[in-house]
């Protein structure tokens, strides 16, 4: 709050009212509802529900399919986060070094940010199309019979590729502005001390980028968990069947298709706890963040 | 730039070669990266210009056909689906309404809340701040089913209100404007008060004009975000006249699976149209966009 603020009380309340009421109706109410119904077993046709306590949760833990989905989610998140960060870092470092055409490269590399995940999924389907996708043909020529939507691993591979492709621009933008905010004096000093470019990168640039990196790490994990919904839904064409899916997608599938309201709610609550943990972790990191400027 | 290069190359021949090869390598990496991002869209675009039968026979190709016009006609004005309401034009209109409504709503609500939090002596300011903050913990994907039930209970299925309102309250815009208002010099409020300006006048006449660039940056980011919404429109619009382009993608995918000849051209053109407005905005306003993005999320 500013020292020289206004002393009226009715106005700030009025100003906060729309924001807070929307939060209450569309955030807290549904969240409370999810927690509540996670303790009940609901009749799929809407004829009442029975209190089952923690059964929905214990069912999840004992459910092999849920564990498989959880396992896939972990692997998927690790792969997407690693590759999208690594490729974006390489590109950002190069874009920061070149003097000619830097702006053109930036434009070419960032536009995919604006592509909606399901549209990215559609582009992926075309590239990996069974009969005439260019990437499928390429893999076939290498002796890898790529079967999107049929082979579990192949489908997972396509999901990872599309998700990484979609996420590179975001990481690129953040890493590039992180690199460009490193003071010139620091770079010049490093240039005198260390002749090798890679040595300079790992000893000076990389640690200076670490705060941005931590932030992006959390952001990428969140992206892989939640925002890839559109990618997964289009790649599996709404027919999960035996295809890989993420935890978030399973909440949707069980709740909307399977009408397993209690189970879906329990899954929602598990995810909420996961997000909570991630947020706390993020704030711990931000608190400890070292400021170099 | 050229001068320093020639000076260096004059200094030592060996060094000159080394520097040059490094630069060539840098450019190669960047070109490869750019191609990786661009080629898929170019292919989709080219495919949209070929007759469907040719794609089925030959697959995706790097050549421009003559079907762009007819396919555009089909995608935008011919209806698909069960009802006759699902044309590209209708979806484009719905996407625009969602994108603009979402962006404007977020900015207005965010600015109001941030103003209340920064400029007033309010007892429960910290509490309100934490309430807004906790929304970060509840992404839509986590509370899918109950949110759907709430909207259904309120009778907001297949309405623009139901499409926009539940999405516009969130922490990001509020935090962003809060941060910005805090950086505004305090002398401004003092001066305004001495001149007899009330809180409303100060907000409308001084703070809002001052925030113009920030508002623009937010608008770009939020418009793209709103336009690209998928899960929420998928859940609450069942009426084909309410589909957005991104929501319509589901139909596009089903077109690939159709029992008749898949309408690749039409589907790809719709995908291109779904991509163009947000991409154009991001490319044209990239400096604002990058500024807004890097400053808002940190």
* Rounded Cα–Cα distance for residues A91 and A106 (Å): 9
* Rounded Cα–Cα distance for residues A137 and B297 (Å): 40
Chain B residues closer than 8 Å to A19 by CB: 109-110, 112-113, 132, 169, 174
Chain B residues closer than 8 Å to A90 by CB: 29, 33
Size of interface A-B (CB pairs under 8 A): 300
Give the per-residue pLDDT at B256: 64
Statement: residue B6 has pLDDT above 60:
no
* Rounded Cα–Cα distance for residues B270 and A39 (Å): 43
Give the per-residue pLDDT at A69: 93
Give me the percent of chain B exceeding a pLDDT of 70. 87
Statement: residue A292 has pLDDT above 50:
no
Distances (CA, A) of B80 to A96, A204, B227, B249: 47, 57, 21, 12
Of B200 and B55, more confident: B200
Give the per-residue pLDDT at B130: 87
Give me the percent of chain B exceeding a pLDDT of 90. 31
Statement: residue A167 has pLDDT above 90:
yes
- Highest averaged pLDDT of the listed ranges A76-85, A131-140, A268-277, B192-201: A76-85
Short-list A119, A142, A95, CA closest to A231: A119
How large is the ipTM? Answer: 0.86
Give the per-residue pLDDT at B235: 87
Whether A255 and chain B come into contact, CB under 8 Å, resolves to yes
Report helix, strand or coil for B296.
helix
Statement: residue A227 has pLDDT above 70:
yes
**Angle CA A231–A237–A242, to nearest 5:** 100
Chain A residues closer than 8 Å to B257 by CB: 237
Lowest mean pLDDT of A35-49, B150-164, B199-213, name the range.
A35-49
Whether B46 and chain A come into contact, CB under 8 Å, resolves to no
Of B295 and A191, more confident: A191
pLDDT in tens, B26-51: 999 999 999 999 999 998 888 888 88
Give the per-residue pLDDT at B1: 43
pLDDT in tens, B231-289: 899 888 888 888 999 988 877 677 666 556 667 777 888 889 999 999 999 999 988 88
Give the per-residue pLDDT at B134: 83
- Terminal C-alpha separation, chain B: 34
Give the per-residue pLDDT at B208: 93
Give the per-residue pLDDT at A287: 60
Alpha helix stretches (DSSP H) within chain B = 2-11, 13-47, 52-58, 68-77, 88-119, 125-134, 144-153, 160-168, 171-183, 187-194, 199-201, 208-210, 212-227, 231-236, 245-257, 264-284, 286-296
pLDDT in tens, B67-97: 788 888 877 877 766 556 678 888 999 999 9
Give the per-residue pLDDT at B112: 94
Statement: residue B12 has pLDDT above 70:
no
Q: Which residues pair with A41 in a beta bridge?
A: A50
Average pLDDT along chain A: 86
- Highest averaged pLDDT of the listed ranges A187-191, B82-86, B197-201: B197-201
The arithmetic mean of pLDDT across residues A43-53, rounded, is 71
Return the residue in A39, A114, A216, A229 with the most chain B beta carbons within 10 A, the one to mutate for interface testing. Answer: A114
The arithmetic mean of pLDDT across residues B54-62, rounded, is 73
Statement: residue A240 has pLDDT above 90:
no
Contact A7 B121 (CB under 8 A): yes
- Highest averaged pLDDT of the listed ranges A12-26, A177-191, B180-194, B259-273: A12-26
Give the CA diameter of chain A.
76
Write out the two tokens for B162.
Answer: 């139901």
Contact B30 A95 (CB under 8 A): yes
Listed in sequence order, the residues at least 6 apart from A49 whose beta carbon sits closer than 8 Å to its beta carbon are A37, A40, A41, A42, A43, A261, A262
Statement: residue B298 has pLDDT above 80:
no
pLDDT band at A107 (very low <50, low <70, confident <90, very high): very high
Give the per-residue pLDDT at B22: 82
pLDDT band at B164 (very low <50, low <70, confident <90, very high): very high
Of B5 and A72, more confident: A72
pLDDT band at B5 (very low <50, low <70, confident <90, very high): very low
Alpha helix stretches (DSSP H) within A194-260 = 197-200, 206-222, 229-235, 247-252
Report helix, strand or coil for B69.
helix
Q: Which residues pair with B80 in a beta bridge?
A: B86
Lowest mean pLDDT of A103-112, A155-164, B66-75, B164-173, name the range.
B66-75
Give the per-residue pLDDT at B276: 93
The arithmetic mean of pLDDT across residues A240-249, rounded, is 85
* B 116-155 → A contacts, CB under 8 A: 116-122, 125, 128, 131-132, 134-139, 141-147, 149-150
């Amino acid at each position: 709050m500013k020292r020289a603020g206004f002393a009226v009380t009715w106005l700030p309340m009025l100003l906060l009212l729309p924001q807070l009421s929307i939060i209450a109706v569309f955030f807290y109410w549904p969240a409370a509802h999810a927690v509540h119904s996670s303790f009940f077993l609901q009749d799929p046709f809407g004829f009442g529900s029975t209190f089952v306590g923690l059964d929905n949760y214990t069912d999840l833990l004992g459910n092999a399919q849920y564990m498989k989905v959880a396992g896939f989610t972990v692997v998927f998140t690790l792969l997407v986060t690693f590759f999208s960060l690594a490729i974006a870092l390489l590109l950002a470092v190069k874009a920061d070094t070149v003097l000619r055409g830097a702006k053109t490269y930036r434009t070419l590399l960032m536009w995919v940010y604006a592509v909606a995940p399901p549209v990215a999924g559609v582009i992926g389907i075309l590239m990996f199309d069974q009969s005439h996708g260019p990437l499928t043909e390429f893999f076939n020529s290498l002796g890898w019979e790529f079967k999107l939507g049929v082979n579990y691993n192949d489908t997972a591979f396509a999901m990872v590729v599309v998700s990484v492709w979609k996420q590179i621009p975001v990481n690129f933008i953040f890493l590039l502005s992180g690199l460009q905010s490193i003071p010139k004096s620091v770079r010049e000093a490093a240039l005198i001390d260390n002749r090798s470019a890679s040595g300079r990168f790992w000893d000076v640039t990389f640690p200076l980028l670490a705060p941005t990196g931590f932030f992006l790490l959390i952001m990428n994990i969140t992206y892989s968990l939640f925002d890839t919904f559109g990618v997964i839904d289009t790649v599996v064409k709404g027919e999960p069947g035996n295809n890989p899916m993420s935890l978030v997608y399973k909440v949707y599938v069980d709740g909307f298709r399977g009408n397993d309201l209690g189970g879906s709610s329990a899954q929602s609550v598990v995810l909420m706890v996961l997000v909570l943990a991630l947020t706390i972790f993020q704030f711990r990191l931000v608190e400890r963040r070292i400021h170099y400027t | 730039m050229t001068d320093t290069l020639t000076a260096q190359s004059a200094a030592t021949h060996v060094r000159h070669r080394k520097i040059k090869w490094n630069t060539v390598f840098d450019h190669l990496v960047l070109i490869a990266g750019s191609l990786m991002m661009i080629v898929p869209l170019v292919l989709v675009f080219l495919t949209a210009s070929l007759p469907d039968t040719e794609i089925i026979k030959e697959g995706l190709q790097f050549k421009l056909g003559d079907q762009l016009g007819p396919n555009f006609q089909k995608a935008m004005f011919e209806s698909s689906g069960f009802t006759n309401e699902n044309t590209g034009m209708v979806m484009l209109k719905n996407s625009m309404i969602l994108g603009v409504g979402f962006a404007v709503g977020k900015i207005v609500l965010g600015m109001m809340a941030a103003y209340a939090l920064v400029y007033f002596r309010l007892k429960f300011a910290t509490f309100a701040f934490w309430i807004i903050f906790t929304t970060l913990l509840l992404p839509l994907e986590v509370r899918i089913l109950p949110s759907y039930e709430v909207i259904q209970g309120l009778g907001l299925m297949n309405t623009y209100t139901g499409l926009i309102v539940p999405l516009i309250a969130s922490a990001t815009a509020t935090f962003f404007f809060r941060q910005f208002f805090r950086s505004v010099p305090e002398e401004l409020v003092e001066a305004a008060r001495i001149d007899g300006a009330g809180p409303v006048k100060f907000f409308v006449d001084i703070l809002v004009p001052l925030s113009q660039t920030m508002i623009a940056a937010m608008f770009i980011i939020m418009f793209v975000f709103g336009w690209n919404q998928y899960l929420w429109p998928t859940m609450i619009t069942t009426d084909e006249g309410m589909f957005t382009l991104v929501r319509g993608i589901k139909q596009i995918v089903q077109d690939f699976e159709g029992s008749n000849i898949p309408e690749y051209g039409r589907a790809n053109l719709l995908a291109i149209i779904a991509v163009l407005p947000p991409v154009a905005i991001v490319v044209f306003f990239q400096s604002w966009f990058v500024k807004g993005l890097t400053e808002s999320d940190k």
